[in-house]
Amino acid sequence: MNSINMNQFFPNPPPPIPIGLPALCKMAFDGLDLAPVWNDLVLRVQAQPDDAAALLDLSTIAQLQGRPQDRLELQSAALNLQRIYRRPAAVDTEPPLKLLAFMAPGDFMANTPLEFMLEGSSIVLDMMYVVPGSPLPPPPEHDVALVAIDGSDAAAPALREVTQIVKSWARPVVNAPERIARLTRAGTWDLLKSAPGIVMPMNVRIDRATLAKIGAGEDTVESVLNGSGFPIIARPFWSQAGIGLVKFEDASAIDAYLREWKDEEFYVAPFVDYSKNDGLFRKCRIVLIDGRPYVAHMAVSQHWMIHYLNANMTGDAARRAEEARFMADFDDDFAVRHAAAFEAIAERTGLDYLPIDCAETRDGKLLVFEVGTAMIVHSMDSPDLFPYKPPQMEKVFKAFQSMLHRVARAAS
Protein backbone atom coordinates (compact mmCIF):
# COMPACT_ATOMS: atom_id res chain seq x y z
CA MET A 1 0.00 0.00 0.00
CA ASN A 2 1.20 3.51 -0.77
CA SER A 3 1.86 5.71 2.20
CA ILE A 4 1.99 9.48 2.09
CA ASN A 5 3.25 12.03 4.53
CA MET A 6 0.65 14.76 4.11
CA ASN A 7 3.07 17.31 5.51
CA GLN A 8 5.26 16.88 2.43
CA PHE A 9 3.73 19.00 -0.28
CA PHE A 10 4.89 19.50 -3.83
CA PRO A 11 7.73 22.05 -3.79
CA ASN A 12 8.93 24.18 -6.70
CA PRO A 13 8.76 23.84 -9.62
CA PRO A 14 5.00 23.42 -9.99
CA PRO A 15 3.58 20.47 -11.91
CA PRO A 16 3.84 20.63 -15.72
CA ILE A 17 0.87 22.03 -17.63
CA PRO A 18 -0.28 20.10 -20.73
CA ILE A 19 -2.45 21.59 -23.46
CA GLY A 20 -5.05 19.29 -21.96
CA LEU A 21 -7.97 17.14 -22.97
CA PRO A 22 -10.63 19.87 -23.51
CA ALA A 23 -8.57 21.92 -25.97
CA LEU A 24 -7.36 18.92 -27.96
CA CYS A 25 -10.74 17.22 -27.89
CA LYS A 26 -12.45 20.41 -29.07
CA MET A 27 -10.08 20.63 -32.02
CA ALA A 28 -10.87 17.04 -32.99
CA PHE A 29 -14.59 17.59 -32.37
CA ASP A 30 -14.53 20.57 -34.75
CA GLY A 31 -12.72 18.54 -37.42
CA LEU A 32 -9.46 20.47 -37.22
CA ASP A 33 -6.19 18.88 -38.28
CA LEU A 34 -4.18 17.84 -35.23
CA ALA A 35 -1.06 17.05 -37.29
CA PRO A 36 0.56 20.50 -36.76
CA VAL A 37 0.04 20.22 -33.00
CA TRP A 38 1.45 16.70 -33.05
CA ASN A 39 4.53 17.85 -34.99
CA ASP A 40 5.16 20.74 -32.60
CA LEU A 41 4.94 18.40 -29.62
CA VAL A 42 7.32 15.92 -31.24
CA LEU A 43 9.84 18.72 -31.78
CA ARG A 44 9.50 19.68 -28.12
CA VAL A 45 10.24 16.13 -27.00
CA GLN A 46 13.18 15.85 -29.39
CA ALA A 47 14.64 19.06 -27.94
CA GLN A 48 13.82 18.12 -24.36
CA PRO A 49 13.18 14.38 -23.82
CA ASP A 50 11.95 14.94 -20.27
CA ASP A 51 9.05 17.17 -21.43
CA ALA A 52 6.36 15.12 -19.69
CA ALA A 53 3.54 17.52 -20.58
CA ALA A 54 4.31 17.20 -24.30
CA LEU A 55 4.35 13.41 -24.01
CA LEU A 56 1.00 13.43 -22.22
CA ASP A 57 -0.51 15.64 -24.92
CA LEU A 58 0.89 13.32 -27.60
CA SER A 59 -0.81 10.41 -25.86
CA THR A 60 -4.11 12.32 -25.90
CA ILE A 61 -3.81 13.04 -29.62
CA ALA A 62 -2.99 9.38 -30.30
CA GLN A 63 -6.22 8.38 -28.56
CA LEU A 64 -8.21 10.96 -30.52
CA GLN A 65 -6.71 9.57 -33.73
CA GLY A 66 -7.75 6.02 -32.88
CA ARG A 67 -4.32 4.69 -31.91
CA PRO A 68 -4.89 3.26 -28.43
CA GLN A 69 -1.57 1.38 -28.23
CA ASP A 70 0.38 4.54 -29.06
CA ARG A 71 -1.73 6.32 -26.47
CA LEU A 72 -0.70 3.91 -23.73
CA GLU A 73 2.98 3.89 -24.67
CA LEU A 74 3.20 7.69 -24.77
CA GLN A 75 1.23 8.01 -21.56
CA SER A 76 3.52 5.49 -19.86
CA ALA A 77 6.56 7.49 -20.98
CA ALA A 78 5.01 10.65 -19.54
CA LEU A 79 4.13 9.01 -16.24
CA ASN A 80 7.64 7.60 -15.92
CA LEU A 81 8.82 11.21 -15.89
CA GLN A 82 6.04 12.89 -13.96
CA ARG A 83 2.95 11.68 -12.12
CA ILE A 84 1.28 15.04 -11.39
CA TYR A 85 -0.06 17.49 -14.01
CA ARG A 86 -1.78 20.80 -13.51
CA ARG A 87 -4.68 22.62 -15.09
CA PRO A 88 -4.48 26.22 -13.83
CA ALA A 89 -7.52 28.21 -12.86
CA ALA A 90 -9.06 30.14 -15.74
CA VAL A 91 -10.15 32.94 -13.40
CA ASP A 92 -7.83 34.44 -10.81
CA THR A 93 -9.10 34.50 -7.26
CA GLU A 94 -7.13 34.78 -4.05
CA PRO A 95 -6.82 32.19 -2.79
CA PRO A 96 -8.06 29.77 -5.47
CA LEU A 97 -9.67 26.47 -4.52
CA LYS A 98 -7.13 23.68 -5.03
CA LEU A 99 -8.48 20.32 -6.18
CA LEU A 100 -6.42 17.12 -6.26
CA ALA A 101 -7.70 14.30 -8.48
CA PHE A 102 -6.61 10.70 -8.13
CA MET A 103 -6.27 9.38 -11.70
CA ALA A 104 -5.52 5.99 -13.26
CA PRO A 105 -3.45 5.34 -16.39
CA GLY A 106 -5.59 4.38 -19.35
CA ASP A 107 -7.82 5.74 -22.08
CA PHE A 108 -10.45 8.48 -21.84
CA MET A 109 -12.86 6.14 -20.04
CA ALA A 110 -10.47 5.45 -17.15
CA ASN A 111 -11.18 8.69 -15.30
CA THR A 112 -13.77 11.38 -14.74
CA PRO A 113 -12.99 14.05 -17.37
CA LEU A 114 -12.75 16.79 -14.77
CA GLU A 115 -11.05 19.30 -17.03
CA PHE A 116 -14.34 19.81 -18.89
CA MET A 117 -16.20 20.38 -15.63
CA LEU A 118 -13.77 23.09 -14.52
CA GLU A 119 -13.69 25.16 -17.71
CA GLY A 120 -13.82 28.86 -16.93
CA SER A 121 -13.51 28.27 -13.20
CA SER A 122 -11.30 29.66 -10.44
CA ILE A 123 -10.27 26.12 -9.38
CA VAL A 124 -6.73 24.81 -9.75
CA LEU A 125 -6.76 21.13 -10.72
CA ASP A 126 -3.80 18.85 -10.01
CA MET A 127 -4.13 15.38 -11.57
CA MET A 128 -2.10 12.75 -9.73
CA TYR A 129 -1.79 9.39 -11.49
CA VAL A 130 -1.83 6.29 -9.34
CA VAL A 131 0.36 3.59 -10.88
CA PRO A 132 -0.25 0.30 -9.03
CA GLY A 133 2.89 -0.95 -7.31
CA SER A 134 4.65 2.43 -7.47
CA PRO A 135 4.78 4.85 -4.54
CA LEU A 136 2.84 8.08 -4.85
CA PRO A 137 4.79 11.30 -5.14
CA PRO A 138 4.25 13.89 -2.43
CA PRO A 139 0.88 15.46 -3.20
CA PRO A 140 0.54 19.16 -3.97
CA GLU A 141 -1.18 21.31 -1.42
CA HIS A 142 -4.93 21.05 -1.89
CA ASP A 143 -8.24 21.88 -0.24
CA VAL A 144 -10.22 18.87 -1.42
CA ALA A 145 -9.46 15.61 -3.23
CA LEU A 146 -11.63 13.72 -5.69
CA VAL A 147 -11.38 10.11 -6.81
CA ALA A 148 -11.62 10.37 -10.60
CA ILE A 149 -10.81 6.72 -11.28
CA ASP A 150 -13.61 4.75 -12.94
CA GLY A 151 -14.87 1.39 -11.73
CA SER A 152 -13.83 -0.52 -14.87
CA ASP A 153 -11.81 -3.74 -14.79
CA ALA A 154 -8.80 -1.96 -16.29
CA ALA A 155 -8.79 0.75 -13.61
CA ALA A 156 -9.61 -1.62 -10.73
CA PRO A 157 -6.00 -2.06 -9.46
CA ALA A 158 -5.52 1.70 -9.17
CA LEU A 159 -8.94 2.09 -7.55
CA ARG A 160 -8.07 -0.57 -4.96
CA GLU A 161 -4.86 1.29 -4.07
CA VAL A 162 -6.72 4.56 -3.70
CA THR A 163 -9.29 2.84 -1.46
CA GLN A 164 -6.49 2.17 1.02
CA ILE A 165 -4.81 5.54 0.54
CA VAL A 166 -7.83 7.73 1.30
CA LYS A 167 -8.60 5.96 4.57
CA SER A 168 -6.03 8.21 6.23
CA TRP A 169 -6.12 11.16 3.85
CA ALA A 170 -5.88 14.50 5.62
CA ARG A 171 -8.21 16.36 3.26
CA PRO A 172 -11.88 15.69 2.43
CA VAL A 173 -12.36 13.23 -0.43
CA VAL A 174 -15.23 13.42 -2.94
CA ASN A 175 -16.58 10.16 -4.43
CA ALA A 176 -15.44 7.34 -2.17
CA PRO A 177 -13.52 4.73 -4.18
CA GLU A 178 -15.27 1.73 -2.64
CA ARG A 179 -18.58 3.17 -3.84
CA ILE A 180 -17.26 3.73 -7.35
CA ALA A 181 -16.08 0.11 -7.42
CA ARG A 182 -19.67 -1.10 -7.05
CA LEU A 183 -20.75 0.51 -10.32
CA THR A 184 -20.13 -2.35 -12.70
CA ARG A 185 -23.08 -3.17 -14.94
CA ALA A 186 -24.03 -6.10 -12.73
CA GLY A 187 -23.23 -4.19 -9.53
CA THR A 188 -25.37 -1.23 -10.55
CA TRP A 189 -28.29 -3.53 -11.31
CA ASP A 190 -27.93 -5.09 -7.87
CA LEU A 191 -27.95 -1.62 -6.26
CA LEU A 192 -30.95 -0.30 -8.16
CA LYS A 193 -33.11 -3.34 -8.95
CA SER A 194 -35.55 -2.63 -6.11
CA ALA A 195 -35.42 1.18 -6.22
CA PRO A 196 -38.79 2.93 -6.56
CA GLY A 197 -39.70 4.25 -9.99
CA ILE A 198 -36.70 2.65 -11.70
CA VAL A 199 -36.43 0.02 -14.39
CA MET A 200 -32.97 -1.34 -14.96
CA PRO A 201 -32.59 -4.51 -17.02
CA MET A 202 -30.70 -7.31 -15.32
CA ASN A 203 -27.09 -7.28 -16.53
CA VAL A 204 -25.36 -10.63 -16.27
CA ARG A 205 -21.70 -11.22 -17.02
CA ILE A 206 -21.30 -14.59 -18.72
CA ASP A 207 -18.43 -16.44 -20.33
CA ARG A 208 -18.07 -17.16 -24.01
CA ALA A 209 -19.05 -20.78 -23.62
CA THR A 210 -22.39 -19.88 -22.04
CA LEU A 211 -23.23 -17.43 -24.82
CA ALA A 212 -22.24 -20.06 -27.38
CA LYS A 213 -24.57 -22.59 -25.71
CA ILE A 214 -27.44 -20.11 -25.96
CA GLY A 215 -26.64 -19.66 -29.64
CA ALA A 216 -26.62 -23.42 -30.18
CA GLY A 217 -29.84 -23.99 -28.27
CA GLU A 218 -28.05 -25.92 -25.53
CA ASP A 219 -28.92 -23.30 -22.91
CA THR A 220 -31.67 -20.69 -22.64
CA VAL A 221 -31.74 -16.97 -22.11
CA GLU A 222 -34.37 -17.58 -19.43
CA SER A 223 -31.91 -19.59 -17.35
CA VAL A 224 -29.30 -16.83 -17.62
CA LEU A 225 -31.55 -13.80 -17.18
CA ASN A 226 -33.91 -15.13 -14.51
CA GLY A 227 -36.90 -15.71 -16.74
CA SER A 228 -36.41 -12.99 -19.36
CA GLY A 229 -36.37 -14.25 -22.93
CA PHE A 230 -35.47 -12.73 -26.30
CA PRO A 231 -34.83 -10.12 -27.47
CA ILE A 232 -31.62 -9.50 -25.56
CA ILE A 233 -28.65 -7.19 -25.93
CA ALA A 234 -25.05 -8.33 -25.62
CA ARG A 235 -21.66 -6.68 -25.57
CA PRO A 236 -18.06 -7.54 -24.65
CA PHE A 237 -17.59 -7.08 -20.90
CA TRP A 238 -15.25 -4.10 -21.42
CA SER A 239 -17.47 -2.33 -23.95
CA GLN A 240 -18.17 1.37 -23.70
CA ALA A 241 -19.86 3.77 -26.14
CA GLY A 242 -21.74 0.92 -27.80
CA ILE A 243 -18.69 -0.95 -29.10
CA GLY A 244 -19.76 -4.50 -29.90
CA LEU A 245 -23.28 -3.87 -28.60
CA VAL A 246 -25.96 -5.80 -30.52
CA LYS A 247 -29.57 -6.85 -30.14
CA PHE A 248 -30.49 -10.48 -30.70
CA GLU A 249 -34.11 -11.15 -31.64
CA ASP A 250 -33.39 -14.86 -31.28
CA ALA A 251 -30.41 -17.21 -31.00
CA SER A 252 -29.71 -17.48 -34.74
CA ALA A 253 -27.15 -14.65 -34.97
CA ILE A 254 -25.11 -15.46 -31.86
CA ASP A 255 -22.68 -17.80 -33.61
CA ALA A 256 -21.74 -15.15 -36.19
CA TYR A 257 -21.36 -12.58 -33.43
CA LEU A 258 -18.92 -14.81 -31.55
CA ARG A 259 -16.87 -15.28 -34.72
CA GLU A 260 -16.51 -11.50 -34.89
CA TRP A 261 -15.89 -10.85 -31.20
CA LYS A 262 -13.23 -13.09 -29.67
CA ASP A 263 -13.66 -11.96 -26.07
CA GLU A 264 -13.99 -14.50 -23.28
CA GLU A 265 -16.67 -12.62 -21.32
CA PHE A 266 -19.80 -10.69 -22.25
CA TYR A 267 -22.63 -8.80 -20.61
CA VAL A 268 -26.15 -9.78 -21.61
CA ALA A 269 -29.38 -8.06 -20.63
CA PRO A 270 -33.05 -8.06 -21.64
CA PHE A 271 -33.95 -5.52 -24.32
CA VAL A 272 -36.48 -2.91 -23.21
CA ASP A 273 -38.36 -1.13 -26.00
CA TYR A 274 -38.44 2.47 -24.87
CA SER A 275 -39.66 4.01 -28.11
CA LYS A 276 -42.53 6.48 -27.94
CA ASN A 277 -45.72 6.56 -29.99
CA ASP A 278 -43.90 8.25 -32.88
CA GLY A 279 -41.49 5.31 -33.08
CA LEU A 280 -38.50 7.39 -31.97
CA PHE A 281 -36.17 6.66 -29.05
CA ARG A 282 -35.05 9.33 -26.58
CA LYS A 283 -32.06 8.96 -24.30
CA CYS A 284 -30.63 11.51 -21.90
CA ARG A 285 -27.55 11.98 -19.79
CA ILE A 286 -28.36 13.24 -16.33
CA VAL A 287 -25.75 14.29 -13.78
CA LEU A 288 -26.42 13.96 -10.07
CA ILE A 289 -24.48 16.61 -8.14
CA ASP A 290 -24.99 16.66 -4.39
CA GLY A 291 -28.03 14.48 -5.07
CA ARG A 292 -29.69 16.97 -7.42
CA PRO A 293 -30.27 16.04 -11.10
CA TYR A 294 -29.03 18.20 -13.97
CA VAL A 295 -29.48 17.42 -17.64
CA ALA A 296 -26.35 17.28 -19.83
CA HIS A 297 -27.96 16.21 -23.11
CA MET A 298 -30.98 14.50 -24.64
CA ALA A 299 -30.76 12.70 -27.98
CA VAL A 300 -33.57 11.61 -30.28
CA SER A 301 -33.04 8.76 -32.74
CA GLN A 302 -34.80 6.22 -34.91
CA HIS A 303 -32.43 3.55 -33.54
CA TRP A 304 -32.57 2.03 -30.06
CA MET A 305 -28.80 2.28 -29.57
CA ILE A 306 -28.37 6.01 -29.13
CA HIS A 307 -25.19 7.96 -28.72
CA TYR A 308 -25.35 11.69 -29.03
CA LEU A 309 -22.92 11.75 -31.95
CA ASN A 310 -24.89 9.17 -33.96
CA ALA A 311 -28.34 10.65 -33.36
CA ASN A 312 -28.04 13.29 -36.12
CA MET A 313 -28.82 16.08 -33.70
CA THR A 314 -26.70 18.47 -35.76
CA GLY A 315 -28.67 17.67 -38.91
CA ASP A 316 -32.19 17.80 -37.52
CA ALA A 317 -33.57 21.13 -36.30
CA ALA A 318 -36.72 19.51 -34.90
CA ARG A 319 -34.67 17.21 -32.67
CA ARG A 320 -32.59 20.12 -31.43
CA ALA A 321 -35.77 22.05 -30.67
CA GLU A 322 -37.05 19.08 -28.66
CA GLU A 323 -33.80 18.91 -26.71
CA ALA A 324 -34.01 22.65 -26.03
CA ARG A 325 -37.53 22.21 -24.62
CA PHE A 326 -36.42 19.24 -22.56
CA MET A 327 -33.65 21.31 -20.99
CA ALA A 328 -35.86 24.34 -20.42
CA ASP A 329 -38.60 22.28 -18.74
CA PHE A 330 -36.36 19.75 -16.99
CA ASP A 331 -36.49 21.13 -13.43
CA ASP A 332 -40.29 21.38 -13.46
CA ASP A 333 -41.04 18.28 -15.51
CA PHE A 334 -38.67 15.32 -15.91
CA ALA A 335 -36.82 15.99 -12.64
CA VAL A 336 -40.10 16.24 -10.72
CA ARG A 337 -41.67 13.12 -12.28
CA HIS A 338 -38.59 11.06 -11.46
CA ALA A 339 -37.64 12.73 -8.18
CA ALA A 340 -38.03 9.53 -6.16
CA ALA A 341 -35.89 7.60 -8.64
CA PHE A 342 -33.10 10.17 -8.59
CA GLU A 343 -33.23 10.32 -4.80
CA ALA A 344 -32.90 6.53 -4.63
CA ILE A 345 -29.93 6.52 -7.01
CA ALA A 346 -28.16 9.22 -5.01
CA GLU A 347 -28.83 7.44 -1.72
CA ARG A 348 -27.88 3.95 -2.88
CA THR A 349 -24.71 4.94 -4.73
CA GLY A 350 -23.59 7.46 -2.10
CA LEU A 351 -21.63 9.56 -4.59
CA ASP A 352 -21.45 13.34 -4.71
CA TYR A 353 -21.02 13.35 -8.49
CA LEU A 354 -22.58 10.74 -10.76
CA PRO A 355 -23.62 10.82 -14.45
CA ILE A 356 -26.48 8.57 -15.54
CA ASP A 357 -27.58 7.47 -19.00
CA CYS A 358 -31.31 6.93 -18.91
CA ALA A 359 -34.64 7.17 -20.70
CA GLU A 360 -38.30 6.80 -19.87
CA THR A 361 -40.30 3.61 -20.23
CA ARG A 362 -43.66 3.57 -21.95
CA ASP A 363 -45.37 3.43 -18.56
CA GLY A 364 -43.44 6.44 -17.25
CA LYS A 365 -40.65 4.93 -15.18
CA LEU A 366 -36.99 5.91 -15.27
CA LEU A 367 -35.13 3.42 -17.47
CA VAL A 368 -31.50 3.31 -16.36
CA PHE A 369 -28.97 2.06 -18.88
CA GLU A 370 -25.75 2.84 -17.09
CA VAL A 371 -24.20 4.92 -14.34
CA GLY A 372 -20.52 5.73 -14.14
CA THR A 373 -18.25 8.52 -13.05
CA ALA A 374 -16.18 8.59 -16.28
CA MET A 375 -19.00 9.64 -18.63
CA ILE A 376 -18.07 12.78 -20.51
CA VAL A 377 -20.04 15.93 -19.75
CA HIS A 378 -18.94 18.78 -21.99
CA SER A 379 -19.80 22.04 -23.72
CA MET A 380 -18.16 21.47 -27.10
CA ASP A 381 -21.28 21.68 -29.27
CA SER A 382 -21.52 24.64 -31.64
CA PRO A 383 -23.36 27.52 -29.94
CA ASP A 384 -24.70 28.50 -33.38
CA LEU A 385 -26.49 25.16 -33.80
CA PHE A 386 -27.12 24.60 -30.08
CA PRO A 387 -27.64 28.07 -28.55
CA TYR A 388 -29.44 26.51 -25.58
CA LYS A 389 -26.46 24.34 -24.61
CA PRO A 390 -23.92 26.86 -23.19
CA PRO A 391 -26.23 28.24 -20.46
CA GLN A 392 -27.35 24.74 -19.50
CA MET A 393 -23.80 23.40 -19.33
CA GLU A 394 -22.70 26.44 -17.34
CA LYS A 395 -25.43 25.55 -14.87
CA VAL A 396 -24.04 22.00 -14.59
CA PHE A 397 -20.44 23.15 -14.25
CA LYS A 398 -21.33 25.77 -11.64
CA ALA A 399 -23.17 23.16 -9.58
CA PHE A 400 -20.15 20.88 -9.69
CA GLN A 401 -17.78 23.66 -8.71
CA SER A 402 -20.09 24.80 -5.90
CA MET A 403 -20.17 21.24 -4.57
CA LEU A 404 -16.35 21.25 -4.35
CA HIS A 405 -16.38 24.57 -2.53
CA ARG A 406 -19.02 23.27 -0.12
CA VAL A 407 -16.98 20.16 0.72
CA ALA A 408 -13.85 22.26 1.24
CA ARG A 409 -15.66 24.73 3.50
CA ALA A 410 -17.15 21.95 5.59
CA ALA A 411 -13.66 20.66 6.35
CA SER A 412 -12.13 24.03 7.20
pLDDT digits (tens, 9 = 90+) for 250-288: 999 999 999 999 999 999 999 999 999 999 999 999 999
Instruction: Return the pLDDT at 10.
Output: 46
As a whole number of angstroms, the distance between CA 8 and CA 308 comes to 44
Instruction: Return the pLDDT at 219.
Output: 86
Digit-coded pLDDT (tens) for 7-48: 444 455 789 999 999 999 999 999 999 999 999 999 999 999
Instruction: Return the pLDDT at 357.
Output: 96
Check the CA dihedral 291-193-156-356 and report its sign.
Answer: negative
Instruction: Return the pLDDT at 307.
Output: 84
Residue of 102, 87, 70, 105 lying closest to 20 (CA atoms)? 87
* pTM for the predicted model, two decimal places: 0.92
Name residues of the chain where pLDDT drops below 70: 1-12
Tell how far CA 354 is from the center of its chain.
9
Instruction: Return the pLDDT at 12.
Output: 58
Instruction: Return the pLDDT at 308.
Output: 85
Instruction: Return the pLDDT at 211.
Output: 96
